[in-house]
C-alpha cells in the first residue's frame, strides 16, 4: 500500500483538479507521483505528446509511485482525507525531465500565449482529421524565445497542452520558459508542461 499525505486542503483541491483534467483528456491515463524535499510532483502524459505536471506540498511513501489517474482522482475527490492511498499498478512509459539543470530563458505574457492558442485551435478545427489535429500543425513552431544564450522553439502542441490542462488564462501571470540541453518547460500559474527539444537523433553518415 502507498500513502499520499497532503495536509493542506487547497493543495488537495489543486492536485484533484489536475488529475481531473488528465482523466478528461484520457480516461485510461496514468499519473506518476514523485516526492522530494517535502513536495510531491504529479506527472502525466497528454494527447499532445507533451508532459504536464503540478507540484504541491506533501509526502509520499514510497517516494515514486505510478497510479491509474482514475483511482487517484477517486482518492482525492471522494475520500478527501489528508492521507490517501493513490493506488498502484499503473505503467509509466518514457522518461521524465531532470529535476535540476534548468536555465530560465525568458517570460512570456500569458495573454500572448492565449492568443496564439486560440488561433491554433481555429486552424485545428478547420483541418482536423479522424485522429485530431494534423501533426504538421502540432509540430509548427509558434513561438521562439531567446535569452541567457539559449534559443528555444516552442511548438503548438505545447500551447495546446497548456490550454487543455487549464494552466493558462489571459489574465494569468507571465509564463516562464526554461530549458536544459534537451528539454523545454513552460511554467504557468496552475502547472507546467515539458517536452524534449530534440525528438530524434541525427543519422550518422
The more confidently predicted of residues 200 and 187 is 187
Greatest Cα-to-Cα distance within the chain, rounded to the nearest angstrom: 58
Task: Tell me if domain 3-84 and domain 103-196 are identical in fold.
Answer: yes
pLDDT at 155: 96
Q: At 1, is the pLDDT very low, low, confident or very high (cuts 50, 70, 90)?
A: confident
Q: Are 53 and 192 in contact (CB under 8 A)?
A: yes
d(CA 76, CA 193) in angstroms, rounded, equals 22
Decide yes or no: CATH 3.40.50.12160 for domain 3-84.
no
Its pTM stands at: 0.91
Q: Are residues 50 and 158 in contact, defined by beta-carbon separation less than 8 angstroms?
A: yes
The domain spans of the chain are 3-84, 103-196
Chain-centroid distance of CA 134 in Å reads: 21
Rounded to an integer, the average pLDDT of 43-47 is: 96
User: Is pLDDT above 60 for 202?
Assistant: no
Q: Spelled out in words, what is the top-level CATH class assigned to the domain 103-196?
A: alpha beta
Stated length of the chain: 205
> Which candidate, 69, 55, 66, places its Cα nearest to that of 25?
69
Reading the block at residue 33, the C-alpha cell is: 507521483
pLDDT tens-digit map of 46-91: 999 999 999 999 999 999 999 999 999 999 999 889 999 998 877 8
Amino acid at each position: 500500500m502507498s500513502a499520499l499525505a497532503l495536509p493542506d486542503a487547497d493543495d488537495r483541491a489543486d492536485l484533484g483538479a489536475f488529475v481531473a483534467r488528465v482523466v478528461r483528456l484520457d480516461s485510461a491515463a496514468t499519473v506518476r507521483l514523485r516526492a522530494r524535499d517535502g513536495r510531491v510532483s504529479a506527472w502525466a502524459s497528454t494527447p499532445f505528446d507533451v508532459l504536464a505536471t503540478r507540484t504541491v506540498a506533501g509526502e509520499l511513501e514510497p517516494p515514486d509511485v505510478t497510479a491509474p489517474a482514475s483511482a487517484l482522482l477517486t482518492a482525492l475527490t471522494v475520500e478527501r482525507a489528508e492521507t490517501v492511498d493513490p493506488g498502484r499498478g499503473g505503467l509509466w512509459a518514457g522518461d521524465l525531465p531532470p529535476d535540476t539543470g534548468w536555465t530560465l530563458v525568458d517570460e512570456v505574457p500569458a495573454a500572448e500565449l492565449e492568443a496564439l492558442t486560440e488561433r491554433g485551435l481555429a486552424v485545428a478545427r478547420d483541418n482536423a482529421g479522424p485522429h485530431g489535429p494534423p501533426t504538421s500543425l502540432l509540430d509548427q513552431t509558434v513561438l521562439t524565445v531567446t535569452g541567457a544564450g539559449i534559443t528555444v522553439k516552442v511548438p503548438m502542441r505545447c500551447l495546446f497542452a497548456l490550454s487543455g490542462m487549464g494552466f493558462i488564462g489571459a489574465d494569468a501571470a507571465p509564463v516562464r520558459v526554461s530549458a536544459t540541453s534537451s528539454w523545454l518547460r513552460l511554467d504557468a500559474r496552475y502547472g507546467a508542461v515539458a517536452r524534449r527539444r530534440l525528438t530524434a537523433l541525427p543519422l550518422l553518415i
